[in-house]
A and B are shown apart, each in its own frame.
Chain A
Amino acid sequence: MNFKSLLATKLLKRSYRNSIILLCGVLFSGCASGQLPLQQQLTPLPAGPICRIAVLPFLNDSDYPLADAIVGKVFAAQLQASGDYQVSQEGNVLNIYQQLHLLPGVAPSLEQFQIIADRVNAQLLITGIVLEMQEDRGEHGTVNPLLVEEIQIRDGRNGEVLWTTFHRRQGTDYKKTMHFGTIHTVTGLSRQMAEEIINLWLDKGLAPCNE
């Protein structure tokens, strides 16, 4: 399954995600043949050091149960570990979601993003969508996981998307010699992909927190 065919499937399956996926298609079609993850910088990051980041609950557009929770928690953990950022406590974020009557699986509005960022005192917000997660059968009865995700960096001041990153991998992408290197779990794949996305961000100018 290649990226373009996946997008086409998604367009047919999810009507309310059409606009997002279409955007992805537009954004990444020109470089789909390039290296993943694919990043688009819509607006520069806020000036000055960035330390306070909130990872908001991810959305799950896949058929894999709780894929949003797995990918979201793994991404938050990797973000904290990679740049030593002060990642807002998930409990605080979800309290605000409750207070704003935001149901699971529903994306906040720009105004709500702004409120959330203000309440948790975050400079940046991280949102994400799991577009696809599945566990295919691999060789010798093993599992070959697949994950397609899109992660956004939003400005805490207005909730607008600053950077967006698309990534797609499966476990066998990391195969080296024989079976070595292959990732067999969606959690392991999520970690690997989160690391790649964050490293890309760091390369592109997101500075680690020094506080």
Chain B
Amino acid sequence: MAPLLEIDGLKVQFSLRDGLVRAVDGVSLAVDAGEVLGLVGESGSGKSVTGFAILGLVDPPGRIAAGAIRFRGEELVGRSEAELRGMRGRDIAMVFQDPMMTLNPVLRIDTQVVEAITAHERVSARAARARARDALVAVGIASPDERLSAYPHQLSGGMRQRVAIAIALLHRPALVIADEPTTALDVTIQSQIVAQMQALCAESGTALIWITHDLALISGFADRVAVMYAGRIVEQGPVGDVLGAPLHPYTRGLIGSLLGGGAPGAPLAQIPGLPPSPINLPPGCAFAPRCPRADGTCATAPDDTAHPGGRTVRCWHPHAALETVA
């Protein structure tokens, strides 16, 4: 069956005063209906921009320079703003990182939920408000009527995020893109939100792209994971395989640097160096300057190579699949 979403060689660039920023430099991935894909990477790796590009929310001075994004087989790149607007919130929805910033502080919650409903459907104000109330209940918000009449700053961070999730799921979209939705929340609330989203998406068959920098978090509930570095996907595959037996040296380094891996008192494993600036990407493999396995061949950029088990890697010297993490 054809995947729900296919991204093929996507390149997103920003023309700034100091140069051209290649935020996304050739990303290809696919998401099936109902699947949960984790998109993992450090800040600046281009993961959020990928999410925005899917919804056509990349604004000047940025633009989609190359590549294709196909949703249900139809090309999204180059569509008119009106067509994209019809899809946003209805077929594809997005949840952002900081709900304090994403909900308008001077408008009430019910205003902001109802307008999301009426943007795509003609319903009476009463019916819309009733639906809004049901949506809040579905995400586990107690006393929904009070919350509806409240302003964003009167709700806790976790509750605001629940509202954002409720808004995203209002029209039962086929795909939800969640851009670090729990990063700004307390750890205890984090797991609640994760569980909530997981349950809701499973129940309605919604596919989910979960963008995060937190590998440990994603390991708990994603089906597949894609690891991004410097605007490119360096490895992707089923989550258990990628995390259990990583092929790319960067993935391996990430997993190795997770706290709790080594014996007490032993120095923390780190990946030496810093990610490259997106204005000055080195030619060839972007990870080479920090890679323990780099050599002369790495001066040319590697392509995606397929590995058994539905995995791909972008590396000249991947680890062997059977090498588990020490």
A, B assembled together: no
